[in-house]
């Protein structure tokens, strides 16, 4: 396939991460849309650069109106913090994910699962109780 016809996601699929970064950067410059920052952040994660990914995930919140924030934006920030060994910031991001107006398709289960993961890894009973309480609440909801 001719490179000039490849979209940014195809560049990612083909492992051409630097070109994908450039393409997402250009798209964001052209249209200012949040998904371009989030996708570029995901590419940085694939490149094992969680600090730069975190910058993009944070920036996605400044570009997007607060009423459109998604739990995924916070979940991804938490993942970056976890990779950077900033464990308390990771937990805080996952807790904040539960307050976002938009959630994953399961209604906000992802942040709860990430909190449970952190609770188990950090051996924190308080966090385990919080995560299990959130998961029980999700199990009772009718979506």
pLDDT above 50 (res 20): yes
pLDDT in tens, 82-116: 999 999 999 999 999 988 999 877 777 899 999 99
State residue 12's pLDDT score. 97
User: Which has the closest alpha carbon to 9: 50, 46, 58?
Assistant: 46
Q: Which residues contact 127 (CB under 8 A, 6 or more apart)?
A: 91, 115, 118, 119
pLDDT in tens, 36-58: 999 999 999 999 999 999 999 99
pLDDT above 90 (res 76): yes
């Amino acid at each position: 396939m001719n490179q000039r016809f490849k979209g940014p996601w195809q560049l990612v699929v083909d492992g051409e991460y630097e070109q994908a970064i450039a393409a997402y950067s250009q798209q964001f410059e052209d249209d200012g849309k949040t998904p371009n920052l989030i996708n570029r952040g995901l590419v940085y994660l694939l490149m094992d650069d969680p600090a730069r990914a975190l910058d993009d995930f944070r920036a996605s919140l400044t570009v997007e109106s607060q009423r459109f924030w998604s739990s995924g934006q916070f979940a991804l920030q938490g993942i970056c913090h976890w990779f950077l060994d900033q464990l308390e910031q990771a937990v805080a991001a996952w807790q904040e994910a539960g307050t976002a107006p938009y959630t994953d398709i399961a209604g906000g289960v992802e942040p709860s699962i990430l909190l449970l993961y952190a609770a188990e890894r950090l051996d924190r009973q308080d966090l385990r109780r919080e995560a299990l309480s959130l998961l029980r609440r999700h199990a009772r909801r009718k979506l």
